[in-house]
């Protein structure tokens, strides 16, 4: 079983840890902030606290991830998540879930800010370690803000300078992105090539995050170049497959790490430490998840156009989906991408949650290169074809009969092609809705309408600012600072 760091962070307490190894491990004890941050080990422990909220059961690899997976063109929500697939905004059941996401993001940001503020004051820590751990904290802070700004728009910016200030105005999205980019650039410069433990952020994780941020901001040349740095580094590669089951080498519950991993949230088969999102995909009857499952998302083999038009020879199709009647007829299918039959009862899966992996970067590069030059390039097509060859079980770097041909595509048709392939490749990784949002509302609405027949309401594009934030942060105006429709 994989060992990973498990640590709970409270408002005025941090948890300490024991000895280090090549993976993150738990040995918590309460430590007062005032007496902490003196040694490299203490500062590392404090950095670890900022990871926990991203891995929480209600975070992006759990309940919050389940929110965005109900917004896709390839599947539908069921039960309390069904209303989300109507694309008309959140109801009273789902608003508390996004409120909890907001709380977790800001708790992670707070823990990162504590490191940024206090690590330089350490009495028994080298300057090199201070620089490294502050960079790691800034990477985590930036990633939290990246999720916040894409889902809530402009938000209050809380940094180490405002740690004790409860009332912080709502900044614009542009101001949030400015902080994100500055943090990621520092992380890119000062993080190591390889983390001391599996699951720690590296300079390559920072480059991948920068590429995605630029991609989201339509700064395509910058996105292309950052992705290309990762590709040309030779540090990463796609894992070959020959049959569908081989994708377990990428997504399986016993994988510790792989050449494809750039930055993953590391999970283990222990209470509150597994990938909770997997619970939303499975049905107890399939026995693909030892803890059962909620089967909160599904698709239909006959009515969903994404699935229906997907080539059956693409191994991702049979790997990702299994036929199972959940009471909606024989055509219903459940996502089995993150299966763990040995997950203990009452807990979550051991599968790691991919944030950035090499396939994702190749596809990002392909689209960004095309958009930057307003035409597909040979390098962009090769990046796309490497992902496609792997999907069909072919040698990854050898031209194949399954390859797309450069001469067959214009800029517009190539971009649509890459978007389709990204949709196949990143299913159930919490990426599709955010991919569609970055294309702009008209394109998002076009794709969702074609797949579901439904119109996306304006209020569905951003989540509501939590009422608790509006009530207690007096720098916010409950009317002017609330998102439209709420």
> What confidence tens digit (pLDDT) does each residue in 348-391 have?
899 999 999 999 999 999 999 999 999 999 999 999 999 999 99
What confidence score (pLDDT) does residue 34 get?
54
- How far apart are the C-alpha atoms of 315 and 389, rounded to whole Å? 10
Residue whose pair of structure tokens reads 């890119």 in the numeric block: 188
What confidence score (pLDDT) does residue 3 get?
44
Q: Which of 19-23, 65-69, 203-207, 438-442 has the lowest mean pLDDT?
A: 19-23
pLDDT exceeds 80 at position 482: yes
Q: H/E element holding 60?
A: none
- How far apart are the C-alpha atoms of 229 and 223, rounded to whole Å? 10
CATH architecture type of domain 217-266+354-443:
Alpha Horseshoe (1.25)
- How confident is residue 70, by pLDDT bands cut at 50, 70 and 90? very high
Q: Which residues contact 310 (CB under 8 A, 6 or more apart)?
A: 317, 424
C-alpha closest to that of 295 among 333, 344, 245: 333
C-alpha closest to that of 59 among 257, 339, 291, 353: 353
Q: What is the CA radius of gyration of the chain?
A: 22
- How far apart are the C-alpha atoms of 367 and 369, rounded to whole Å? 5
Q: Across residues 17-34, what is the average pLDDT?
A: 42
**Chain centroid offset of residue 184 CA:** 16
Q: H/E element holding 407?
A: none
pLDDT exceeds 50 at position 26: no
List pLDDT tens digits, range 106-153: 999 999 999 999 999 999 999 999 999 999 999 999 999 999 999 999
pLDDT exceeds 70 at position 25: no
113-to-110, 157, 162, 468 alpha-carbon distances in Å: 5, 11, 9, 22
Q: Which residues contact 408 (CB under 8 A, 6 or more apart)?
A: none
Residue 198 per-residue DSSP state:
B
What confidence score (pLDDT) does residue 19 get?
34
Is there a contact between 216 and 150 (Cβ–Cβ < 8 Å)?
A: yes
pLDDT exceeds 60 at position 183: yes
Q: Which residues contact 65 (CB under 8 A, 6 or more apart)?
A: 59, 277, 280, 353, 430
- How far apart are the C-alpha atoms of 388 and 313, rounded to whole Å? 11
Averaged pLDDT of the chain: 93
Residue whose pair of structure tokens reads 């996502």 in the numeric block: 335
Contacts 24+ apart (CB under 8 A), 39-42: 39/122, 39/124, 39/125, 40/125, 40/126, 40/129, 40/133, 41/17, 42/16, 42/122
Query: Is the Cα dihedral 367, 68, 423, 454 positive or negative?
Result: negative
Residue whose pair of structure tokens reads 């059961």 in the numeric block: 57
- How far apart are the C-alpha atoms of 257 and 237, rounded to whole Å? 12
Q: 3-class SS at 259? A: coil
- How far apart are the C-alpha atoms of 435 and 437, rounded to whole Å? 5
What confidence score (pLDDT) does residue 33 get?
57
C-alpha closest to that of 320 among 156, 432, 195, 483: 432
pLDDT exceeds 60 at position 283: yes
- How far apart are the C-alpha atoms of 187 and 26, rounded to whole Å? 25
Other CB atoms within a 10 A radius of the CB of residue 127 amount to: 9
- How confident is residue 10, by pLDDT bands cut at 50, 70 and 90? very low
- How far apart are the C-alpha atoms of 253 and 23, rounded to whole Å? 16
What confidence score (pLDDT) does residue 17 get?
34
Residue whose pair of structure tokens reads 């750039």 in the numeric block: 262
**% residues pLDDT > 90 (the chain):** 91
- How far apart are the C-alpha atoms of 126 and 120, rounded to whole Å? 9
What confidence score (pLDDT) does residue 73 get?
98
User: Model pTM?
Assistant: 0.93
- How far apart are the C-alpha atoms of 293 and 279, rounded to whole Å? 4
Buried b (16+ CB within 10 A) or exposed e, 79-117: eebebbbbbbbbeeebbebbbbbbbbbbbbbbbbbbbbb
Domain assignments of the chain as residue spans, ordered by start: 217-266+354-443, 269-351
**Chain centroid offset of residue 196 CA:** 22
Q: What are phi and psi of 330, to 5 degrees?
A: -75, -10
């Amino acid at each position: 079983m994989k060992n990973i760091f498990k640590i709970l962070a409270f408002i005025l307490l941090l948890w300490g840890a024991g000895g280090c190894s090549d993976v993150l491990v738990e040995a918590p004890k309460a430590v007062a902030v005032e007496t902490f941050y003196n040694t490299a080990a203490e500062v590392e422990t404090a950095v670890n606290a900022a990871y926990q909220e991203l891995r929480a059961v209600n975070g992006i690899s759990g309940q919050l991830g389940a929110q965005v997976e109900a917004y896709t063109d390839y599947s539908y929500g069921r039960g309390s998540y069904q209303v989300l697939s109507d694309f008309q905004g959140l109801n009273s059941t789902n608003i508390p879930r996004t409120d909890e996401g907001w709380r977790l993001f800001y708790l992670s940001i707070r823990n990162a800010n504590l490191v940024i503020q206090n690590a330089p004051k350490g009495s028994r820590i080298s300057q090199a370690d201070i620089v490294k751990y502050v960079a790691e904290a800034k990477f985590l802070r930036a990633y939290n803000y990246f999720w916040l700004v894409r889902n809530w728009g402009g938000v209050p910016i809380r940094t180490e300078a405002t740690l004790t200030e409860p009332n912080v105005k709502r900044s614009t999205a542009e101001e949030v992105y400015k902080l994100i980019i500055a943090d990621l650039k520092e992380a890119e410069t000062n993080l190591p090539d390889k983390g001391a433990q599996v699951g720690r952020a590296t300079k390559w994780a920072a480059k991948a995050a920068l590429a995605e941020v630029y991609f989201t901001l339509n700064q395509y040349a910058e996105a292309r170049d950052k992705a290309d740095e990762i590709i040309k580094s030779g540090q990463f590669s796609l894992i070959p497959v020959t049959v569908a089951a081989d994708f377990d080498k990428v997504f399986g519950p016993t994988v510790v790490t792989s050449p494809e991993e750039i930055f993953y949230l590391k999970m283990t088969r222990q209470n509150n430490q597994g990938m909770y999102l997997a619970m939303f995909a499975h049905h107890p009857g399939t026995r693909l998840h030892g803890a059962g499952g909620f089967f909160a998302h599904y698709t239909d083999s006959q009515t969903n156009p994404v699935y229906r038009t997907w080539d059956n020879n693409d191994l991702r199709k049979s790997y990702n989906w299994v036929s199972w009647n959940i009471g909606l007829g024989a055509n219903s299918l459940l996502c089995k991408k993150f299966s763990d039959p040995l997950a203990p009862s009452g807990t979550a899966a051991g599968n790691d949650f991919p944030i950035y992996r090499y396939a994702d970067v190749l596809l990002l590069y392909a689209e960004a290169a095309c958009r930057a030059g307003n035409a597909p390039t040979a390098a962009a097509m090769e990046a796309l074809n490497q992902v496609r060859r792997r999907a069909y079980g072919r040698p990854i770097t050898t031209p194949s009969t399954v390859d797309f041909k450069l001469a067959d595509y214009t800029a517009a048709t190539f971009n649509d092609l890459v978007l389709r392939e990204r949709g196949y490749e990143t299913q159930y990784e919490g990426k599709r809705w955010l991919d569609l949002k970055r294309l702009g509302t008209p394109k998002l609405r076009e794709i969702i309408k074609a797949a579901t027949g439904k119109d996306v309401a304006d209020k569905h594009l951003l989540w509501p600012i939590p009422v608790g934030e509006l009530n207690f942060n007096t720098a916010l105006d409950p009317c002017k600072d609330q998102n439209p429709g709420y």
